[in-house]
Amino acid sequence: MKLSPDEINSALGNVPLWNHDNDQISRAWQFRDFGDAMIFVNRVAELAQSNEHHPDILIRYNKVALTLTTHDAGGLTNRDFWLARQIDDLIGEENSYED
C-alpha cells in the first residue's frame, strides 16, 4: 500500500542518506573501481531478486545510483524503505558520495 506523506517522512528517518523526490527514494555510491562497483551491484541484485522488489540501477564506471519506488502501488511503500535499509546494511556508510 502506498505510504502517506507523513508515513514517508517518518520512514525517511530510518534511511537518512537516501534522497526523497516525489514518489521515489535514491542514493548513490562511489567505489574504488568498476570491479568493486559491480560486486556491489551484484549483491544488490541478489537481495532484490530474493525479495522480488527491484531498484532502478545506473552504473557509471565506479559510481552506482539506485532508485526505489513501488510501481504497482504508484509510489513509495514500506517495501522500498525496507530494501533501502537492507542495501545500506550491505555497504555501510563508507563509499557514499553526493552528486
- Tens of pLDDT along 1-13? 999 999 999 999 9
25 in Cβ contact with 68 (< 8 Å): yes
pLDDT at position 83 over 90? yes
Residues 6+ apart with CB under 8 A from 17: 27, 88, 93, 96
For domain 5-91, is the CATH number 3.40.50.300? no
- pLDDT single digits (tens) 39-82: 999 999 999 999 999 999 999 999 999 999 999 999 999 999 99
The full set of domain ranges for the chain reads 5-91
84 in Cβ contact with 15 (< 8 Å): yes
Compute the distance between CA of residue 98 and CA of residue 10 in angstroms, rounded to an integer: 22
Report pTM.
0.89
pLDDT band per the 50, 70, 90 thresholds, residue 90: confident
